[in-house]
């Protein structure tokens, strides 16, 4: 059986929960060919990547999917690309607020996701769940994490991508949201599409 490392984030920015980790927790232990290994990741520059890469070194996964909250987005958005830039408009959970600093000083400007994000989007959309390809994972901790993962596993068999998910209704009265179960279902379908 193949191994999938799937990660969600702790809450940040004054929120009490992060739907990314809540949805990852709801996933079954096995999906298709994959056994799932789930971890919660701190919303801290560098530490998020160290946490995920340490787990990846331990289990040697075939695929890595990192999931994060993109509050305000109306749909589930698999990310096509990660860029070598940190710019934080709010401090991370340890008070770091980098402004225009590279994620990796000698890294490429950008990496494309190595999992089939467009195929994932097609499959999730077919189930009538709002889902679209995103061409920017931002410049905060989510982008930093997936940049490090793609950098570490470039030219290897280990494939990776990031999936941003919206708020859940419990978090907002005026922003778009999706029920937690719908987000978890979208992640399951995306994994089945790999």
Active site residues: 79, 142, 164
DSSP per residue over 75-135, as a string? SBEEBSEEES-EE-SS--TTS---EEE-SSTTS-SEEE-SS-HHHHHHHHHHTT--B--BS
Stretch binding ligand PCA (CB under 6 A), from 66-74, 94-102, 119-127, 169-177: 66-74
Pattern 32-61, binding to ligand PCA, x per CB under 6 A? -----------x------------------
Distance CA 179, CA 184 (A): 9
Among the listed residues 142, 150, 180, 191, the single contact to ligand PCA using CB under 6 A = 142
Q: Which is nearer to ligand PCA, 10 or 122 (CB)?
A: 10
Q: Tokens 């930093």 — which residue?
A: 144
Taking the complex as a whole, the smallest distance from the CB of residue 9 to ligand PCA amounts, in Å, to 4
Q: Does 18 bind ligand PCA (CB under 6 A)?
A: yes
Q: Does 78 bind ligand PCA (CB under 6 A)?
A: no
Q: Does 167 bind ligand PCA (CB under 6 A)?
A: no
Select from 194, 193, 191 the least CA-distant residue to 27.
191
What's the length of the chain?
194
Beta bridge partners of 74: none
Where along the sequence are the contacts to ligand PCA (CB under 6 A)? Answer: 9, 12, 18, 20, 43, 68-70, 138, 140-142
């Amino acid at each position: 059986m193949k191994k999938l490392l799937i990660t969600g984030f702790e809450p940040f920015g004054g929120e009490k929960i992060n739907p990314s980790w809540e949805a990852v927790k709801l996933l079954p232990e096995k999906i298709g060919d994959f056994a799932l290994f789930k971890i919660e990741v701190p919303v801290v520059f560098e530490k998020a990547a160290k946490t995920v890469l340490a787990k990846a070194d331990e289990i040697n996964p075939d695929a890595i999917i990192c999931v994060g909250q993109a509050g305000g987005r109306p749909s589930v958005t698999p990310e096509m690309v990660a860029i070598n830039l940190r710019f934080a408009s709010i401090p991370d959970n340890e008070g770091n607020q980098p402004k225009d600093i590279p994620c990796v000083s000698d890294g490429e400007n950008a990496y494309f996701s190595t999992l089939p994000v467009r195929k994932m989007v097609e499959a999730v959309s077919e189930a009538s769940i709002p889902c679209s390809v995103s061409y920017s994972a931002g410049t905060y901790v989510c982008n930093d994490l997936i940049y490090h993962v793609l950098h570490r596993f470039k030219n290897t068999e280990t494939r990776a991508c990031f999936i941003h998910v919206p708020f859940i209704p419990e978090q907002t009265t005026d922003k778009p949201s999706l029920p937690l179960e719908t987000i978890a279902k979208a992640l399951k379908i995306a994994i089945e599409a790999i």
